[in-house]
Amino acid sequence: MSDTTLTPGIKAGRLDAAAYDENFGDLHPRLDDHEVLVAADRCYFCHDAPCITACPTEIDIPLFIRQIATGTAEAAAETILDQNILGGMCARVCPTETLCEQACVREAAEGKPVLIGQLQRYATDTLMEQGKHPFARAVRTGKQVAVVGAGPAGLACAHRLAMHGHDVTIYDARQKPGGLNEYGIAAYKSVDGFAEREVDWLLQIGGITIETGKSLGSDLTLDQLKASHDAVFLGLGLGGVNALGLEAEDKDGIENAVDFIADLRQARDLAKLPVGRDVVVIGGGMTAVDAAVQAKLLGALNVSLVYRRGRDRMNASVFEQDLAASKGVRIITNAQPVAIHGNGAVREIEFEYTDDSLTPTGQTFRLAADQVFKAIGQTLQGDGLPKLEGRKIAVTGAGRTSVAGIWAGGDCAAGGDDLTVTAVAEGRDAAEDIHSSLMG
């Protein structure tokens, strides 16, 4: 954290204890039994359901909602988890408003979709709270598979491989598994340590070993992994953060949004987490919104989110944008940073307005800032990786890379949309392809 002697605006304990509890409570509290039945009753149970096509993991949504409606939530959970083993977390963090719920027939007819995400959470929570793991491990094949990255793609891949009887070792650079689910999403989207509990539940399948503190490049090489395993899956995520490209970017008070979110997610006492008085977040995606909203909830007086394009081009969904505005975040669009001002620590950020083609207009403005979060995208890190497509690993089919015996999926692989649910689908599908390859 920045030196508070240089950044006096950054401090901890801006709010009382009750305010932290209220601000970081569950964003979408779980529906009760009556609410669930009412929500399930609104489903038309479409034969050719567009919501299934809109789900990256292709969950049979009408079936699991019908199972809930008939009082068999555990069966509904099995329907969900068969396609998406991280269905509990996806129910909490997926932008359902732009995926399955946007495709819902009720949305088209009435502007009010079936609450698919909340029904999914009800079903998966019900099963997990019973301590049940609905899948059995096949007879051991004797095959060893290495999975690099314990995020959504890696976990989904490892679970499906273990189901098929393979022995899997997951290597992850951090000290806890979970990847994005553990370190990279807003605290109010996943409360009460759910990410950690979901990983523990997933591991009940058996056959999976996790080794933390192991980074590809410094601790492991692909050649070593290939030599000691029958197949390798890369679910690295994106570890690097893009720079603003401005002078004085190393001033105190300027941080990466992903680091701020990770610190918040791992903090045991939010009252001890410093936040600025005047916070500026640069970016327009989910990470930018999560950082901006949480800064406001920690007690920042002024929080501005600045994006270089128009609001309709923001990667954050309309729901996320509206959430930010409702919490008091000021959203400024068509503006890009051009200078950082301050002596030792940031004091102001200067922006220039742009038109729709990102051409500078010559008009500038300044925002007071004692804390600035960069959220302008992340980059792939690692040496000796398979062939790249742009800034990500090139893949064909179900995650096959340019190197035989190595697959990739999730945010590190080209072609995806950087969503948790997409990462799960890619990890699952790669596992099936790995299994077919190993078994001939």
The two structure tokens encoding residue 10: 């950054």
pTM: 0.95
DSSP states of 96-133: GGGTHHHH-HHHHHHS----HHHHHHHHHHHHHHTT--
Q: Alpha-carbon distance 246 to 374, whole Å?
A: 12
**What are the φ and ψ backbone dihedral angles of 170, each rounded to 5 degrees?**
-100, 130
Tell me: do 251 and 332 sit in the same domain.
Answer: yes
Structural domain contains residue 412: yes
- HSE at residue 376, side-chain half, CA atoms within 13 A, is 16
Question: What's the number of domains the chain is made of?
Answer: 3
Confidence (pLDDT) at 2: 41
Q: Alpha-carbon distance 355 to 212, whole Å?
A: 46
Tell me: do 330 and 255 sit in the same domain.
Answer: yes
Q: Determine what percent of the chain falls in helix, strand and coil, rounding each to the nearest 5.
A: 40, 20, 40
CA 59 to chain centre: 19
Structural domain contains residue 16: no
User: Angle of helix 257-266 relative to helix 286-297, nearest 10 degrees?
Assistant: 50
> Domain limits at 155?
144-239+380-438
Among 407, 413, 410, which residue's Cα sits nearest to residue 432?
407
Confidence (pLDDT) at 383: 80
Confidence (pLDDT) at 7: 65
pLDDT tens digits for the chain (440 residues)? Answer: 444 444 668 999 999 999 999 999 999 999 999 999 999 999 999 989 999 999 999 999 999 999 999 999 999 999 999 999 999 999 999 999 999 999 999 999 999 999 999 999 999 999 999 998 999 999 999 999 999 999 999 999 999 999 999 999 999 999 999 999 999 999 999 999 999 999 999 999 999 999 999 999 889 999 999 999 999 999 999 988 999 999 999 999 999 999 999 999 999 999 999 999 999 999 999 999 999 999 999 999 999 999 999 999 999 999 999 999 999 999 999 999 999 999 999 999 999 999 989 999 999 999 999 999 999 999 998 888 999 999 999 999 999 999 999 999 999 999 988 899 999 999 999 999 999 999 98
Q: Which of 325, 341, 376 is the last residue of a domain?
A: 376
Tell me: do 190 and 233 sit in the same domain.
Answer: yes
Exposed/middle/buried for 135, CB within 10 Å: 0-12, 13-18, 19+?
Answer: middle
CA 177 to chain centre: 14
Structural domain contains residue 336: yes
CA angle 327, 31, 64 (to 5 degrees): 120
Q: Alpha-carbon distance 148 to 252, whole Å?
A: 33
**What are the φ and ψ backbone dihedral angles of 260, each rounded to 5 degrees?**
-60, -45
CA 85 to chain centre: 15
Structure letter (DSSP) for residue 216? B
At a CB cut-off of 8 Å and minimum separation 6, what does 114 contact? 39, 40, 42, 43, 51, 65, 101, 104, 106
Between β-strands 371-374 and 278-282, what pairing exists: parallel, antiparallel or unpaired? parallel
Tell me: do 406 and 369 sit in the same domain.
Answer: no
Structure letter (DSSP) for residue 244? -
Structural domain contains residue 50: yes
Tell me: do 366 and 419 sit in the same domain.
Answer: no
Tell me: do 372 and 384 sit in the same domain.
Answer: no
Tell me: do 349 and 275 sit in the same domain.
Answer: yes
Structural domain contains residue 91: yes
Tell me: do 369 and 422 sit in the same domain.
Answer: no
Tell me: do 393 and 269 sit in the same domain.
Answer: no
Q: For residue 11, which amino acid is it?
A: K
What are the Cα distances from residue 386, in Å, to 177, 412, 436? Answer: 24, 11, 21
Q: Which of 129, 158, 186 is the last residue of a domain?
A: 129
Structural domain contains residue 29: no
What 3-state class would DSSP assign to 411? helix
Greatest distance between any 2 Cα atoms in the chain: 67
**What are the φ and ψ backbone dihedral angles of 130, each rounded to 5 degrees?**
-85, -5
Tell me: do 48 and 99 sit in the same domain.
Answer: yes
Which residue blocks in 24-151 are alpha helix, DSSP H? Answer: 33-41, 50-54, 61-69, 73-83, 87-93, 100-103, 105-110, 116-129
CATH at residue 201: 3.50.50.60
Tell me: do 254 and 216 sit in the same domain.
Answer: no
Confidence (pLDDT) at 416: 82
Structural domain contains residue 56: yes
Q: Length of the chain in residues, anyone?
A: 440
Structural domain contains residue 108: yes
Q: For residue 398, which amino acid is it?
A: A
Exposed/middle/buried for 332, CB within 10 Å: 0-12, 13-18, 19+?
Answer: middle
Q: Which of 129, 152, 181 is the last residue of a domain?
A: 129
Confidence (pLDDT) at 5: 44
The two structure tokens encoding residue 122: 């009800």
Query: How far is the first Cα of the chain from the last one, in angstroms, to the nearest whole number?
Result: 52
The two structure tokens encoding residue 55: 């789900």
Q: Identify whether the C-beta of residue 349 lies closer than 8 Å to the C-beta of residue 302.
A: no
Tell me: do 253 and 371 sit in the same domain.
Answer: yes
